[in-house]
Structure 1
Amino acid sequence: MNVTLRQLRVFQAVVQQRNFSRAGDVVGLTQPAISRCIRELEEQLGLQLLNRTTREVAPTEAGRSLAGKLDRLLDELELALLDVQGMASMRRGKVRVASSPTLSANLMPACIALCAQRHPEIQLVLLDRVQQDVLGSVRAGEVDFGVVIDPSTPDDLHCQTILREPFCLVCRSDHPLTRRKSVPWQALTGEHLVLLDHASGSRRLIDEALQQQHAAAAVVQELSHPTTVFRMVEAGIGCTVLPALAVSASELQGRALQVCRLRPQVERSVMLVHRKNRALAPLVTLVWQLVAEVAGDLPSAL
């Protein structure tokens, strides 16, 4: 039998994602390469591991049995290899971190710079992805840990809150709401909103706040990046609600926009996450602590 670690990693990703294309995105392979790995693994084992339909990919009974044991086995193998190579105790190497776009732009640059200054022997590699892909990368073991907004289903993850920040209203400077020192959420009733789409970790929290505060606003555009949102607001298409990190002075410099406090204050939690069944290597722990330190030192955006 000649089963490879790559084949097992690919199988693990397919079972988790239930889709060959998404699994390919997680492990960095094309869909044909994913299909070939699965076919070769099934041939080596002499068993069909996956049922393939036009809508999804689901494990067979044999596939479920293998998948149930695979996470622990791969983790133990990886730790054993690290121990053999002596990397578990070394302070030199590469640490991979995934984070969502707002955090990648407004938190991680300072972390990477401080890591290079304080630990020049460590290479901090950042993967900039939407929140669901960050969580997928963490669960698949593609990265050492992730920086995310409070995930709704973190049962399989160890989470540490490193920052709580409020949501803010951003309007054109000539908008009537900017005359107030702070704006109640209910004042957004009847307003047009330009919001980040549901790939953002913040969107779920914004929708919940609007509903809980009985703010019946109309969402007229849903976009994937804050810079595009700012352009839409500048053009007069609507206002927006964004987390404080996204509305720093540097982000708004040169724009005819104004930031207002929303009341009552609604916050999002920024968290570091890693798999519960995976102990962090000392090298990774150094970077984990460094990111938490930088987040704790961030000045308020308002």
Structure 2
Amino acid sequence: MRLFLQVARTCSFSETARVSNLSQPALSRTIKLLEEDLGVRLFDRNSRNVVPTDAGAALVPIVERLTADFDLAFRALDQTFSGERGRVVVGALPSVAAEFLPRAIARFLKNRSQVEVIIRENLNAGLLQSLQDRAIDISISTPPGGSAPICFEPMFKDDYVLVCRPDDLAAIPDPAPWSTFTDFPFIAMEPRSSVRMMTDSLFTAKGIHASPRFECAQLATVGALIGEGLGISLLPRSTLPLMAVGKQIAWRMTQGPVPSRTIGICTLEDRTLAPAAEAFRQLLLAMAMDAKF
């Protein structure tokens, strides 16, 4: 098609062969094959002149559109292969989605503005199920349990802290002894959350019985209850921005080895990420390495 256009524009087989780095016999064979495929003669030629036939002249604008569409499609495809276009569906814990993830997306889209990024917030179990269902490309969550074929790449530690209202700080030593959780009413996350499973495990290990006064599905509710002086909680430090909605909250580190959870990237071991998703994964790891989250 391109050789046909070049001949039609230059009206010269020799000039087209020269700029295309072809021999004239090879060019002539190519045009002949095109004529045979179409069943028409495209050029009238003699020893001096090459002139498009009526069929050849009618074909020129069609081929121009075809080659332009072809070039446009492959430019778009090249951008997809390079990760400059495409779609990334990223799942994240609510605490990550509220603080770290927006910064990562903003940095990512500065250089890849044509990539569509979709966020799916969920608890850890829901994220891992969505990942296995291939409903999301990447999950930013805690390590998976069991034998699921999931690759986990750690990014950062998220320390657990005692969360209270500012007025309670005077009555809580710094760092706070674990007995503090028996001195105040305890506000817990709902039982199916990974945070709740972690706090229950910690209390068991410390020999503490902290029966929840309230069990909440939303961190904002936990923050509101704490702000009203209804109790304290033990939560990952990354959740603090989600609780300080309309209420003031404060926090203390706990005594002894500081408990923490590991936040990282989960991907399916048998799934090759699309270029845009892979570029986003690499950015997440780079941000964690630079500690700029």
Specify the TM-score bucket, using the shorter chain as the normaliser: 0.5 to 0.7
1:91, 1:122 within 8 Å by CA — same for their partners in 2? yes
Q: Distance in 1 between matches of 2:83 and 2:208?
A: 53
Q: Distance in 2 between matches of 1:231 and 1:174?
A: 14
Residue from 106, 122, 130 that aligns with 1:137: 130
Residue from 204, 212, 215 that aligns with 1:211: 204
**Computing the radius of gyration over CA atoms, which structure comes out larger, 1 or 2?**
2
Partner of 1:118: 111
Q: How is 1:118-267 mapped onto 2 (pairs within 5 angstroms)? A: 118-153=111-146, 155-175=148-168, 178-248=171-241, 252=244, 255-264=247-256, 265-267=258-260
Give the TM-score taking structure 1 as reference length.
Answer: 0.65
Shift of 1:277: 1.1
1:101, 1:225 within 8 Å by CA — same for their partners in 2? no
Q: Distance in 2 between matches of 1:298 and 1:124?
A: 22
Shift of 1:145: 1.1
Shift of 1:184: 2.1
2:83, 2:277 within 8 Å by CA — same for their partners in 1? no
Q: Distance in 2 between matches of 1:217 and 1:183?
A: 15
Corresponding letter in the other structure for 1:259 = W
Corresponding letter in the other structure for 1:255 = K
Partner of 2:97: 104
Give the 3-state SS of the residue equivalent to 1:263 in structure 2. Answer: coil
Unaligned runs of at least 5 residues, structure 1:
1-84
Corresponding letter in the other structure for 1:289 = Q
Q: Distance in 2 between matches of 1:176 and 1:184?
A: 13
Q: How is 1:80-91 mapped onto 2 (pairs within 5 angstroms)? A: 87-91=80-84
Partner of 2:24: none
Shift of 1:234: 1.3
- CA RMSD for the aligned pairs? 2.4
2:220, 2:245 within 8 Å by CA — same for their partners in 1? no
Give the 3-state SS of the residue equivalent to 1:133 in structure 2. Answer: helix
Q: Percent identity?
A: 20
Q: Deviations over 1:66-88 (max 9, x none)?
A: xxxxxxxxxxxxxxxxxxx7744
Q: Distance in 1 between matches of 2:121 and 2:247?
A: 25
Give the TM-score taking structure 2 as reference length.
Answer: 0.66
Q: Distance in 1 between matches of 2:237 and 2:289?
A: 14
Give the 3-state SS of the residue equivalent to 1:255 in structure 2. Answer: coil
